[in-house]
Structure 1
Amino acid sequence: MDPFGKIIDCDGLVVDAAIRAFHGADNGDFEGRVSVARGAGIAGRLADLFGFPPAMRDRTMRMSVRGGPDSATWQRDFDGHLLTSRIERRGSLLLERFGPVCLIMCLRDEAGALHVDVIGGTLCGLRMPRAVLPHSDSVETGEDGRLQFDISAALPILGPMIRYRGWLQPVDETPLAMPQATAG
């Protein structure tokens, strides 16, 4: 179980089976598709500080997760552009490190989806004031047994920095969860 999964369990969050399965293993390899949009101007260029990928549409994405319930390394491969981050659990909070940036996040559930909210951060170990703290609208959902993600970040005053969305499933192509049948 990765740090997200530990918080989902400990806090009793009610999320889709595909989300629970994705975060339920210590280690995993996933693949899928992704589209990335970068913000214009300074905000888009600051995405490089985090190591975010360039803009792309409907490209291959691979992801490996290595670790356990208290810390994990996530390596995302956006069609050849690598983004690695380290995620640590501190009680019910997550710390995600991208190079010199560390974001402090909390999780919440809503209608089976998992929302990730940025509530604090540091740059080179110094606390970021709220005036420069990235705002994130990030959500994971499950559809057709796949993990669906929609991750975005914007900076106060400067506007959108990045948005990437797509889906992932285990490399062996076994869905993370069986799709729910609906009466029709």
Structure 2
Amino acid sequence: MDAAVRSLFAQVLGPAFGTLAAPVHALHVAQGMNRYRGEVQVERGSTLLSRLVAATTRLPPAGNGPLCMEIDASPLQERWIRFIGGRAMPSRLWREGDMLCERLGLATFGFRLDVTDGTITWRVARVRVFGVSLPARWFTGVGARESADGDRYRFDVWASLPIAGLLVHYQGWLDVG
């Protein structure tokens, strides 16, 4: 496949992209506007600081229920909107070198992606808020995992910070086929 038409995730992951589980591959190879439906369970932190940080990054509210996810993908960037609990959580993703960057609310994250047994694991390598770099070691409690359960795409996203504690932990599935 020509680099000009390779998906964003195919570019970031390189040869490892071909080893992804079928539902994970299907989600990340699709181009243009796609809508997926599934279910999500969301746990939120309860401290004042965790609620403040969660609000500035537009994290989803606590609860269990339906999830609608819209992804508008091109080889240069992707726009994701997760509709959870009646609220939208938008983000934008793009590539910088071998890193996948995501702008979520006031924060911009740089992630290293690893593939093991068809599963993608996201690890924070860099964080900027208002253009100011923050120590990556503060964000070791932030990450995600994308996997498959039969024909379903599964996700598990967690975020906790020193002092603030748990910000959010959400997990669930999407039908991608």
Q: What range describes the TM-score normalised by the shorter chain of this pair?
A: 0.7 to 0.9
Preserved CA contact (<8 Å) 2:124 2:136: no
Provide the rounded CA distance (Å) in 2 between the counterparts of 1:134 and 1:70: 27
Aligned residue for 1:154, secondary structure, equals strand
Deviations along 1:104-142, one digit per CA (max 9) or x if unpaired, are 101001222110111111001111123543632310111
Letter in 1 for 2:22: A
Alignment equivalent of 1:85, drawn from 77, 88, 91: 91
Unpaired runs of at least 5, structure 1: 176-184
Give the TM-score normalised by the residue count of structure 2.
0.88
The 2-side partners of 1:11 and 1:153 are apart by 28
Which letter does structure 2 place at the counterpart of 1:135? G
Alpha-carbon distance between aligned partners in 1 of 2:51 and 2:117, rounded to the nearest angstrom: 31
Q: Structure 1-normalised TM-score?
A: 0.85
Matches within 5 A, 1:117-156: 117-130=123-136, 132-133=138-139, 135-156=141-162
What is the alpha-carbon distance in structure 1 between the residues aligned to residue 7 and residue 97 of structure 2? 13
1:70 alignment partner in structure 2: 76
The yes-or-no answer on 1:4 pairing with 2:9 is yes
Find the aligned partners of 1:131 and 1:112 in 2 and give their Cα distance. Answer: 27
Q: Comparing 30-39 with 43-52, which one deviates more in the overlay? A: 43-52
Secondary structure in structure 1 of the residue aligned to 2:53: helix
Root-mean-square deviation (CA), in Å? Answer: 1.7
Q: Does 1:110 align with 2:116?
A: yes
Q: How many residues align structurally?
A: 169
Determine which structure has the larger helix proportion and give its number.
2
| Residue type at the aligned position of 1:46 | V
Unaligned 5+ segments in structure 2 are 1-5
Percent identity of the aligned residues? 27
Q: For residue 3 of structure 2, what is the aligned residue in structure 1?
A: none
Preserved CA contact (<8 Å) 1:101 1:121: yes
Q: Which residue of 2 aligns with 1:53?
A: 60
The residue type paired with residue 51 of structure 1 is R
